[in-house]
Homo-oligomer: A and B are copies of this chain.
Amino acid sequence: MRRLPTVSDVAEAAGVSRQTVSNVLNTPEIVRAETTERVRAAIERLGYRPHASARRLRTRRSSTIGVRLDPGADGMSGSLLDRFLHALVERADADGLRVLLYTAVDEDAEIATFERLLDGADVDALVLTSTHYGDRRIPWLVEHDVRFVTFGRPWGEHDTTDRSHRWVDVDGRVGVRAATASLLEQGHRRIAFLGWPEGSGTGDDRRAGWREAMLAAGVPDADMTALDLGVEEDPLDLGIGGRAVAAVAPRPDAVVCASDSLALGARLALGPDVPVVGYDDTPVARALGFPSVAQPLDEVAAAVLELLASDEGDHHRLLAPRLVRR
């Protein structure tokens, strides 16, 4: 790979010691003018430039943020994290920060990667995605005094009180509540919720938004049970949600979904006459023309970098999503 000129090359070209080159660069006031000139000429001639690594070595800071490239990127909702990554890289670049990617097959591997990246000062902060109940990465980072922000809540008791965990999230409950309310306004009443099995923070939060809107519209709790559908998503079987919703009798008037891939399944199973609303506003929602709840990923990226940069103010941000009507 490409070899850049070193301090030794400059020293040799100028006929001085490496220490003298270093003095010219760092403490020119102690070097004789004639020597300084000779060293500067060699620097110019060789195209030597004080090195980012030298700067990092002095400051012990890399100005680099580590971000895991999520293995789920192959699915439709995976594109959400790719779009977040894009917004983050653009904003970080404007702030003079770099984004270094890593992958990890599980939490243990990810924690081992943290150690490696931090020990080498390859990164000095981390941005985590795909947080979940009992996420072991969080206590590890807190214990090791690592600067980090998660896109996603801790999903625990201390969501908003534990200042050691900085996070940015989008209020899925509010988004799904708005989506359900828009279907209720259109006169639909038997509105199914097609989400994931209970137990995921994100999924339960979105389900709560549906329940709240239905209760507010006077739908009895008992009527909701048959309309509350949780399926394990499978990127290789996008029909799974459609089969679940097609099995509901009598057929729902409309379906509000925890993801666009679930909404696609519902749309394909029920046809275009049953309104569906998706989540994440992916190209699929635009292609098939169904409404979807959009996460404000630019705002999320900006908030993540703000929380990384400053100890002032709130340690978390819960941003509002937007229902894209179609």
Contacts and interface: CB of A to CB of B under 8 A. Distances in A.
Interface of A: 1-4, 6, 49, 51-54, 56-57, 60-62, 64, 69, 71, 73-76, 78-79, 82-83, 85-86, 89-90, 93, 98-103, 118-122, 124-125, 145-147, 235-236, 238-239, 261, 264-265, 268, 283-284, 286-288, 308
A227 to B, nearest CB: 23
29 contacts: A1-B124, A1-B125, A1-B308, A2-B145, A2-B146, A3-B60, A3-B61, A49-B120, A51-B57, A51-B120, A51-B121, A52-B122, A53-B57, A64-B100, A74-B283, A78-B79, A79-B79, A85-B101, A90-B103, A98-B101, A99-B101, A235-B283, A236-B286, A238-B283, A238-B286, A239-B287, A261-B283, A283-B284, A284-B287
A4 B121 contact: yes
Nearest to A284: B284
B86 A98 contact: no
Nearest to A104: B93
B85 A74 contact: no
A261 B86 CA distance: 21
B62 A53 contact: yes
Given A121-B4, A286-B238, A89 B73 contact: no
Contacts of A62: 53
A90 B101 CA distance: 10
Nearest to A9: B60
A254 to B, nearest CB: 20
Question: Of A49, A236, A284, which is in contact with the most chain B CB atoms at under 10 Å from its CB?
Answer: A284
Given A60-B6, A236-B286, A89 B74 contact: no
Copies of this chain, complex-wide, total 2
Contacts of A239: 287
Contact of A268 (B51, B261, B287): B287
Contact of A238 (B57, B100, B287): B287
Nearest to A68: B89
Given A61-B3, A102-B93, A119 B49 contact: yes
A122 B98 contact: yes
Contacts of A235: 283, 286
A288 to B, nearest CB: 7
A57 B53 CA distance: 6
B57 A69 contact: no
Given A1-B61, A3-B61, 18 more contacts: A1-B147, A49-B119, A51-B120, A52-B122, A53-B54, A53-B57, A54-B57, A71-B86, A74-B283, A75-B283, A76-B283, A78-B79, A89-B102, A93-B102, A239-B287, A264-B287, A265-B287, A284-B287
